[in-house]
Amino acid sequence: MIIYFDTEWEGHHPHHMAVVARYALKFQLCDKVLFAVPTELQERAFKFLVDEDKTKLHFFQINNEDEFKKIRYVKNRWVKHLLGWRLGCRIAYQQNADVLFFAVMDDVLLGSAFDPVRYSGFTISGLIFRASMHYQEMRNGFVSSAREFIKSVTVYRTLKRRDFVKLFTLDPYFAEFARNNIVNGYKVEFLPEPYDLPDVHFDSNSEREQGKIRFLFYGSMQRRKGIEPLLDALKLLPSSVKEKSEFRFCGEGPMVPFIQNRKKELLAEGINITVEARYLSQCELDEEIKKADVILAPYLNHIGSSGVLVTAAAYHKPILSQNAMMIGRELQRYRLGEAVDTHDPAAIAAAIIRLCEGGIDKIRRTADFEGYLQRHGEEKFAQKILNLIQENNT
């Protein structure tokens, strides 16, 4: 049996759990999977499992566990990591599991690295999201270099554990770096993004429909997603671009009031901007993406993968995003859109101008959307995780 362990329920967590649950249901593996998660995560994951028989799934509710209660209010990061790590290992031991899988290793990495206890009876694996020690741009000062050094040490010590067998990553460049530069780096393995292609036919050679060029920003409205420099960039656009473009923001988050305040100013300057301050259902989001010409994702030093990137590629939509780290490399490697310095409003504005002056059709003709997408998929994601059971037995 494999324990799927997670303590969070925001962002990608419900979707990732639902993907694993759907695979277990489809291939009759429910008796071999125990989801040790909070009730909040279970409820949100169920929203993705509309047509499945969820009664066949097995759960261990962690809300009443002492370690989980402490995780919710403890401020010290080291303590949080050790509590999460020890809780997952205790449940695996008590449930006589064969495999313990941490859905987010980033939340327990300090625990795995410095816990002196070595566990027997089960193996441990996990998925790391924010591996960044292989990107030189993350070492641009003493503080950032020290932070990356600590992260490197925790990864090294985790991989050194005999009870730890596999560290999954959504970043293919980290997997390659680990194999060539880290002791026990063979334990690091690339994991496909859990995204299935929409059932829509695309013709990359077709020209976009005439009318205003729609730029779409969707998801959680947070400062790290580059909203501030993006709005500053809109003010730098020439009148000719303002007239033929529109910018749509859909989602919730702490930056919504900021966007609403700037909206009045931008409208007064002739910029077509609309704000849908709520999370959209999947059907609504699909429609928004279909209507869009460009997807905006101007992250500021985002580490790791992004579901927005996969979604944009799946719908054959050019994306405007950062030129740094994994996203920057993927954009350039597969020619998926504009990779720019997202800290610089002028660079963002220049990219928008290029897109409005023929860049969209050029990207659609030359982008390798299929090459990028073929390595991803929900079943590929879940299969690699649940195959840990079989690998453990062999």
- What is the DSSP secondary-structure string of 119-147? --SSEEEEEES---TT-GGG-SSHHHHHH
CA geometry: angle 183, 130, 231, nearest 5 deg = 150
The span from the CA of 248 to the CA of 274, in Å, is 5
Q: What is the structure's pLDDT at 200?
A: 58
Q: What is the structure's pLDDT at 179?
A: 95
Q: What is the structure's pLDDT at 199?
A: 61
Q: What is the structure's pLDDT at 148?
A: 84
Q: What is the structure's pLDDT at 202?
A: 55
β-pair partners for 213: 245
Residue 60 contacts by C-beta under 8 Å, 6 or more apart in sequence? 3, 34, 35, 36, 37, 91, 95
Nearest CA to 179 out of 190, 188, 192, 191 is that of 188
Q: What is the 3-state secondary structure (H, E, C) of 305-348?
A: CCHHHHHHHHCCCCEEEECCHHHHHHHHHHCCEEEECCCCHHHH
- Domains of the chain by range and CATH? 2-194+377-393 (3.40.50.2000), 213-373 (3.40.50.2000)
Q: Where does residue 28 fall: left (phi above 0), alpha (psi -120 to 50 degrees), or beta otherwise?
A: left
Q: What is the structure's pLDDT at 245?
A: 97
The number of C-alpha atoms within 13 Å of 54 and in the hemisphere containing its C-beta is 15
C-beta separation of 89 from 119 below 8 A: yes
Residue 356 per-residue DSSP state: I
Question: Taking the CB of residue 371, how many other CB atoms lie within 10 A of it?
Answer: 12
The span from the CA of 306 to the CA of 224, in Å, is 13
Q: Where are the alpha helices (DSSP H) in 162-255?
A: 172-181, 227-234, 239-244
Q: What is the structure's pLDDT at 209?
A: 57
Nearest CA to 359 out of 248, 207, 230 is that of 207
- Token pair 């730890």 in the structure block, residue: 164
68 burial type by CB count under 10 A (0-12 exposed, 13-18 middle, 19+ buried): middle
Task: Per-residue pLDDT tens, the chain, 394 aa: give them.
Answer: 999 999 999 888 999 999 999 999 999 999 999 999 999 999 999 988 988 999 999 999 999 999 999 998 999 999 999 999 999 999 999 999 999 999 999 999 999 999 998 888 999 999 999 888 888 877 778 877 888 888 899 999 999 999 999 999 999 999 999 999 999 999 999 999 898 766 655 554 455 556 799 999 999 899 999 999 999 999 999 999 999 999 999 999 999 999 999 999 999 999 999 999 998 887 899 999 999 999 999 999 898 888 899 899 999 999 999 999 999 999 999 999 999 999 999 999 999 999 999 999 999 999 999 999 888 889 999 999 999 988 877 6
Number of H helices, E strands in the chain: 17, 13
- Amino acid identity of 228? E
What is the helix (H) or strand (E) element at residue 114, kind and residue range?
helix 109-114
- Amino acid identity of 38? P
Q: Residues in the chain, how many?
A: 394
> Quick one: how far is CA 279 from the chain centroid?
17
Q: In which order are the strands placed within the sheet that holds 319-322?
A: 272-276, 245-250, 213-218, 294-297, 319-322, 337-340
C-beta separation of 84 from 107 below 8 A: yes
Residue 360 contacts by C-beta under 8 Å, 6 or more apart in sequence? 208, 213, 293, 294, 318
- Token pair 């490399």 in the structure block, residue: 329
- Token pair 């999954």 in the structure block, residue: 168
